[in-house]
Amino acid sequence: MDDRPLDVLIVEDEVLLATELEFLVEEVGCHTVGHAMSSDEAVSMAHDLHPDLALVDVHLRDGPTGVEVVRRIHDDCGGVALFMTANLKRLPDDFAGACGVIGKPYSQHGVRTALSYLTTCLREGRAPGPPPIGLELAPAYSALWDVDGAARAV
C-alpha cells in the first residue's frame, strides 16, 4: 500500500472556505498542491499537478462552471474529483465523473471523515465500509469501490 499523502487540489473561489479546506486536508494527512478560483485555472493546475483528488465547488469566480471543471479533470486529466457544494441540484445524474459530493454547509468533522474514507478508497481501490454521513458517492464509484460488498462485511 502507498503511504504517501494524497495530493489534493482545492477548487474554491471563496478564500476563507479554501483556507479552511486546506487546513482540514493537511489535518487528515493529505497534502494540498494548490488552490484554483476559476475553471481555466483549475483545469490547468489539474493538468500540471496531477492531484490524487480535487475538491471542487460548483460555483466559481467565472460562474457555475464547476461541473465542467470536474468533467475535464476526469476526462482530460484522468483525475478524481469530489464536489463540495451547496448547489446539489446543479449536479448531473452521472456526477460529471466525480466520485461524489459533500453538501454545504459541511462540518469540519464531516470533511475530515470523508477525506479519510476517500484516502482509503483511492489507495486500496475499495471502500472500507459504507460512506460516512455527509458524503454521497456517485453510483459509478460505489460500484468501483464495491461499497455494497464492504457494507455487508462490516
Quick check: pTM over 0.85? yes
CA 53, chain centre distance (Å): 6
Residues written for the chain: 154
On average, the pLDDT of the chain sits at 94
Q: What are phi and psi of 9, to 5 degrees?
A: -100, 130
C-alpha cell, 109: 468533522
- Residue 117's nearest CA partner among 11, 35, 6 is 6
- Residue 12's nearest CA partner among 42, 40, 48 is 42
* Bridging pattern class, strands 100-103 and 135-137: antiparallel
Q: What is the pLDDT of residues 79-117, one digit of tens each?
A: 999 999 998 888 999 999 999 999 999 999 999 999 999
All structural domains of the chain: 7-153 (3.40.50.2300)
Q: Contact 101/125 with Cβ under 8 angstroms?
A: no
Split at pLDDT 50, 70, 90, the class of 126 is very high
Q: Is the pLDDT of residue 151 over 80?
A: no
Q: What is the DSSP letter of 22?
A: H
Per-residue pLDDT, averaged over 12-40, amounts to 96
pLDDT of 153 reads: 58
Q: Which residues contact 19 (CB under 8 A, 6 or more apart)?
A: none
- Residue 153's nearest CA partner among 123, 129, 137, 134 is 129
Rounded to whole angstroms, how far apart are CA atoms 74 and 95?
11
pLDDT of 18 reads: 96
